[in-house]
Amino acid sequence: MSLASEGLTPSDEDWDRVLPFQLDALGVRGRLVRLGPSLDAIIERHGYPLAVARPLAEAMVLCTALATSLKYDGIFTLQISGDGPIRLLVTDLTSDGALRGYAQFDSWKLAVALGSGNHDAPDGYVPKLFGQGRLTFTVDQGQHTERYQGVVPLEGATLADCAHTYFRQSEQLPTGIKIEARREETTDGPHWRAASLVVQQMPEFDAGRIDVDQDQREDDWRKAVILMASATEKEMLDPALPGKTLLFRLFHAEGARLFERRAFQARCRCSRERIDGVLKSIRREELADLRDPQGLVAVTCEFCSTQYAYDEADLDRVYASDA
């Protein structure tokens, strides 16, 4: 499906979706990921400060962009851990499109790092808000398969920079990534938008460019990265601008081919059965710290904030199953 054959009209179908594309003239494939309602559902329920929420939004769109470049049947997880004000940030995407994420942070350290009167994450926020740490990618396809994990230090001013470090160190194909995220106040409340553009050089055989010399391949790759980088924040996050229109603006001369969109939704995988399993891994007498003022054992899912309460009869059932 070519860009020229598509009607260019705004559509809600552009959001919470990935739009894969290929630039045959440059031997490059890519993806445009745009998240909207899913971010609202995940981020706003936690009430995170803006300086925590925006890095989470960027991490979620990065997770989605990287996960959709792989063929897997399971869970792709992106985790950032550090010694800065944001201690931990986790987001994952299942192969059937369930997206979730959460963050842990120190409010006092965050206020000190931001300074008086500042609320949003500053440009180049990774060193200031995460400190020294690492970025981890994990692909888990179940107990009968080997789990893949890639770990790199947090090197760079932005999450895109850190992802570039991963691709350089993993010796994979050259990859370019651009990320934007913004929270807007509207008449019906705050709304999030985040987008990521990814371009990746294809293997020579897959691209059908075996006869193209190395100098030309490098020139074509540089051109693809320059075109990708020319996308503005406004273009990437504009709800009235269809994704195919954006790709047409960027790559119309390269004859970009579009592929079928894939949709995502905010959905947590927590359940009472899963929490039962967590409790069973803890000795019953060690549950005192989890009890609320009414004496119930209360467990809250960090991803979706759902609370699971257990009275003594519930605990009898959980621990009796091991008898």
33-52 average pLDDT score: 94
The answer to whether residues 172 and 77 belong to one domain is yes
Residues 233 and 311 in one domain: no
> For residue 297, what is the domain's CATH number?
3.90.1280.10
7, part of any domain: no
User: Can you give the pTM of this predicted structure?
Assistant: 0.88
Domain, as residue range, for 288: 272-320
Q: Are 99 and 43 in contact (CB under 8 A)?
A: no
- Residue 237 maps to a domain: yes
At residue 31, the 3 state secondary structure works out as: strand
Residues 41 and 75 in one domain: yes
Contact (CB, 8 A) for 178 and 163: no
In a domain, 2, yes or no: no
Alpha helices in the chain (DSSP H): 37-43, 50-67, 107-114, 126-130, 159-169, 204-207, 214-229, 233-237, 243-251, 272-280, 312-320
Same domain flag for 214 and 307 = no
Same domain, 27 and 88: yes
Run of H or E residues at 139? strand 133-140
Same domain, 133 and 278: no
Say if residue 75's pLDDT is above 90: yes
Asked which of 266, 282, 307 is the last residue of a domain, the reply is 266
Question: For residues 236 and 58, what is the distance between their CA atoms, to the nearest angstrom?
Answer: 13
Same domain, 146 and 290: no
In this prediction, residue 40 has a pLDDT band, given cuts at 50, 70 and 90, of very high
DSSP 252: G
Q: Distances from the Cα of 304 to the Cαs of 65, 107, 206, 269, in angstroms?
A: 22, 20, 41, 9
Tens-digit pLDDT profile for residues 80-116: 999 999 999 999 999 999 999 999 999 999 999 998 7
Q: Are residues 232 and 151 in the same domain?
A: yes
Say what the pLDDT of residue 6 is: 41
> Is residue 8's pLDDT more than 90?
no
The CATH number that applies at residue 52 is 3.55.30.10
Question: Across residues 283-309, what is the average pLDDT?
Answer: 87
- Number of independent structural domains in the chain: 2
- For residue 9, what pLDDT band results from cuts at 50, 70 and 90? very low
* Mean confidence (pLDDT) of the chain: 88
The answer to the question of residue 5 being in a domain is: no
**44 and 169 assigned to the same domain:** yes
